[in-house]
Structure 1
Amino acid sequence: MGEIVNLNKARKARDKAEAKRTADANRLTFGRTKAERQTTQKERDRGAARLDGHRLDDAKDD
């Protein structure tokens, strides 16, 4: 016969584990210093500018 499980405790444990995963993800996303955020933004901007600089013009000669 199977093990007897308190469904209320199982539900709370599941919710607690999900909250921990969400908190870990938020720490990665929001848990950075202002300098780190600015550095990342500058790198993104630099990459976008470089990509835009390598685009070919879509000029039509009609």
Structure 2
Amino acid sequence: MTDKPINLGRARKERARRAAKEKADENAVRFGRTKAQKEAEHAEAARAKARLDGHERDT
């Protein structure tokens, strides 16, 4: 055992902070993309749309 008593409220808050940080890190990995990645995806989608529109038949 430790020779110093612990503050249970502080320990509870620290545990909650740690859990929130772990969840935030997990979400950053799952959903996080850089601005450059977002712009590249947007540009690729625009190119694909333009390519499809170029093959459209006139009626």
Amino acid at match of 1:17: R
Note the C-alpha offset of 1:3.
Answer: 1.5
> How much does 1:2 deviate?
2.9
In structure 1, what residue type is equivalent to 2:3?
G
Unmatched segments (≥5 aa) in structure 1: 36-62
Instruction: State the aligned residue count.
Output: 36
Please identify runs of 4+ aligned residues in structure 1 that moved more than 3 A: none
SS at match of 1:19: helix
Quick one: percent identity of the two aligned structures? 43
2:26 corresponds to 1:25: yes
Cα shift readout 1:4-36 (whole Å, capped 9, x = no counterpart): 11100000000000100000000000112443x
Name stretches of at least 5 consecutive residues in structure 2 with no aligned partner: 42-59
The amino acid of 2:18's aligned partner reads A
Name the aligned partner's letter for residue 11 of structure 2.
A
Q: CA RMSD in A?
A: 2.0
